[in-house]
Each structure stands twice: as C-alpha cells, then as structure tokens.
Amino acid sequence: MPFTSSPTPNPNALKFTSESQLFNQRIEIKKGTLPGSPLLRSLIEIDGVDRLFGHSDFITVCKLPTTTWDQILPQVETILNPPKS
C-alpha cells in the first residue's frame, strides 16, 4: 500500500497518508514501547524516531530534534513503501 508524505507544522514530524485505512482507533507510541504491529515496530525501532501517532489512514513520524530527516527518511520510506520484487 503506497504512502505519500506531507509536512506538518512541527518540523520534527512528517505525516504519511495511505490509500486505505490503517487503524480503527487513534494510536500513540513512544520510543521504548513495543507495539504489536510489525509496521509500527519497524518504524519506532529506527534510531532517531521518537514517537508515532496515527489514526484512520495516516501515521505521523516524530523524530528527535538532534536527528535530521536526511538521516532517517530513507529508512521510513523503505518501511512504508518497500521495493516491489
């Protein structure tokens, strides 16, 4: 399922929207939490990712202020939009 990214008012957060529903309820995951979802677990385990928020068809990835998007965005995009085999 492809995701598209969009900025948020927070420079440390990017919103990734899916073409289909992802969640039935609001999610909030902090670093150190081990979510049941493999997708969420893969994202929160990226070094530099601090929190995840989601609802319905989107996930917002929040990074640490000391981390740049250049450092983590390739990993986030690979998880959300894996290469087709």
Residue found by looking up tokens 């319905």 in the block:
56
Residue 71: its pLDDT value, please? 97
Report the C-alpha gap between 71 and 48 in whole angstroms.
8
Output the pTM of the full model. Answer: 0.92
Domain 3-80 = CATH 3.30.300.20: no
Extents of the domains making up the chain: 3-80
Give the pLDDT confidence score for residue 82 in this predicted structure.
84
- pLDDT tens, residue order, the chain (85 aa): 689 999 999 999 999 999 999 999 999 999 999 898 999 999 999 999 999 999 999 999 999 999 999 999 999 999 998 887 6
Tokens standing for residue 21: 């529903």
Residue 54 backbone class (left: φ over 0; alpha: ψ -120 to 50; beta: rest): beta
Cα dist from 80 to 20, 66, whole Å: 13, 23
Q: What is the pLDDT of residue 2?
A: 81
Q: CA–CA separation, 60 vs 41, rounded Å?
A: 14
* pLDDT score, position 84: 78
What's the pLDDT at 27? 95
